[in-house]
Structure 1
Amino acid sequence: MIHFEREVFDPVLIEEMLKHFHHVNIAMNDEDGYPYVVPLNYGFEIKNDKLFVYIHCMKIGKKINLLQKDARVCLEFSAFNDFPDRPYKGHRHDYRSVIAKGRLKLVDANEDLETFKRGYDLLYLCNGRPITPLESRKVMPNLYIGKIECDWNDVSAKSEFPLRTIEDVPFVDVYEMEEDTTS
């Protein structure tokens, strides 16, 4: 990391950042030596100094084939706010990002219903969508819940502007503020 002053260390701030992102990009190892990256909905929880990220996916397809061969993944969460015509504190954009590495475990409802339901419920944290309770479905969906476990040492975060409190995490609407040209 070149701009160490932009790094976010506080787990409380990182957790708040994760609440504001709309999707996660997950990179997997492809057989041809290139990364394979897909955007997905997600849910998460932090416990015992670990970040647990939950995703869902169908039981067939390229993603499943890759994950069954190599469960190592890299997660990228980000948001970018652009304001090219109204500089704020000497900048023309703002961003938040979190990168995490971990291992993904595919959870089948027939084998571990408790973990499946927990992951399923947490998926709806992302985007603030209303949840369709699993119990209300007529049939169990033909999908896996992916549970990704990341050690806190494998989680890093950045922000264009310093984040000191959770109130600093949402983007500032520069068009609603008095012009600030300081650097």
Structure 2
Amino acid sequence: MIHFEREVTDPQLINEMLKIFHHVNIGINGEDGFPYVVPLNYGYEIKDNKLFVYTHFMKRGYKLDLLRKDPRVCLEFSAFHDFPNCQYKRHYHDYRSVIAKGIMKIIDGNEDYETFLKGYNLLYTCNNRTIKPLEERQSIPPMYIGVIECHMHDVTAKSEFPLRTVEDVPFLDVYSMEKDDEPFDISDILENKKK
């Protein structure tokens, strides 16, 4: 990573970053040699040094055909905060991004209800949505849950502004702050890099 001072490696900070994204872009290996990328709603959890991302999709379609041939995927989560008329700490924008590589399992609720239910219930994570509880439905929805398992060593994250604590993760409202042209103090990050 060229700007190593922007790298985020702490799983707790990555967890907080994942809470602010609105969707995930999933890159699937296409038949023509080009990636096939689709945006999807998601839910997630981090456990046992792994990131598990849950998505949902219909039981037919091009995406499903590709995943059955090759379940390897690349995930991209990002959010961008632009403030072109209000420079802050010598920056005109801020961003958060997480990239992860993993393998997607396709879960049918009729075959693995427990995993399907868990994934379905985690979908509320995306956009703080309210979803109708599965128990209140008359039948399992005609969809699959995709579970992407990513080892944390295959997860990279970045932020334009330095992140040290979970309180640093939300975007700042720079328009309501006092003018500040001093660059961020990253001496501690530079010192840690030397170790």
In structure 1, distance between residues paired with 2:30 and 2:129: 32
In structure 2, distance between residues paired with 1:166 and 1:102: 25
Shift in Å at residue 138 of structure 1? 1.9
In structure 2, distance between residues paired with 1:49 and 1:73: 19
Shift in Å at residue 139 of structure 1? 2.4
Other-structure match for 2:124? 124
Shift in Å at residue 153 of structure 1? 0.5
Q: Any idea what SS the aligned residue of 1:98 has? A: strand
- Counterpart of 1:118 in structure 2: which amino acid? K
Shift in Å at residue 131 of structure 1? 2.1
Other-structure match for 1:104? 104
User: Which residues in structure 2 correspond to 1:66-85 (within 5 Å)?
Assistant: 66-85=66-85
In structure 2, distance between residues paired with 1:92 and 1:47: 35
Other-structure match for 1:166? 166
In structure 2, distance between residues paired with 1:128 and 1:61: 27
Unaligned runs of 5+ in 1: none
TM-score (norm 1): 0.99
In structure 1, distance between residues paired with 2:104 and 2:113: 17
In structure 2, distance between residues paired with 1:62 and 1:180: 50
Q: How many residues of Structure 1 are paired with residues of Structure 2 in the alignment? A: 183
Q: Any idea what SS the aligned residue of 1:178 has? A: coil
Percent of matched pairs sharing the same residue: 69
Other-structure match for 1:90? 90
In structure 2, distance between residues paired with 1:141 and 1:182: 54
1:148 aligns with 2:148: yes
Deviations 1:85-130 (A, max 9, x none): 0001001000000000000000000110000000000011110011
Unaligned runs of 5+ in 2: 184-195
Shift in Å at residue 136 of structure 1? 1.0
Deviations 1:118-175 (A, max 9, x none): 0000011110011210111122211000000000100000000110100000000000
Structure 1 stretches of 4+ moved >3 Å: none
In structure 1, distance between residues paired with 2:56 and 2:89: 40
